[in-house]
Amino acid sequence: MSRLTRAHLADADPVLGALIREVGRCTLKPERAREPYEALISAVAHQQLHARAAEAMLGRLRALTEAPVPAPGHLLSLSDEALRGCGFSAAKAAALRDIARRTLDGTVPTRRAAARMSDAALIERLCALRGIGRWTVEMLLIFTLGRPDVFPVDDFGVREGYRLIHGLEAQPKPRAFAAIGEAYAPYRSTAAWYLWRAADRAKKITPPS
């Protein structure tokens, strides 16, 4: 994190600035070699599951397809029974197939294509996929594409971190939190990372990876 980023966030919110000084350097490192297709497959596996269980499912999928990430065409060729054997529910299997189809038709962009798209355009396009919501796309923007100005206002951990450092009785509502976050622009992803840290330390909430 640059000195400029740190100074901007501290000026925007002195309480956040104190947290930044206490936590130290931001170690957020996006997975820049990962394609959006792979990130979405992983996101579907992790939905409503403990990370260990989700990784076990992905491991079985890798073993079945003999590939670190099954190609979209290969994924589409798998039967319901095969996906169920990996641990995917019917709903998750349907979401995986939709992601694969939309990757083949270009709806899910490559990293190179995504680099030419705005955050808003990516959110609008990818939220049209089955089983993919705004929060999932925001995590992709932060942790895969490395977008610097994403503020996931629906994320429990981010709102809880804000509540804790400001000593509030209740978390801010998403709409109000979005307005609060405007002051952190254009470094809202970094602000979110520090708020996750605050929640993690107090409540053992781990930020998405």
The catalytic site residues sit at 155
Distance from C-alpha of 138 to C-alpha of 144, rounded to nearest angstrom: 10
Q: Judge whether 58 and 46 are in contact, CB under 8 Å.
A: no
* Contacting residues for 161 by C-beta, under 8 A, at least 6 apart: 194, 195, 196, 197, 198, 199, 200, 202
Which tokens hold the place of 104?
């083949």
Distance from C-alpha of 27 to C-alpha of 19, rounded to nearest angstrom: 14
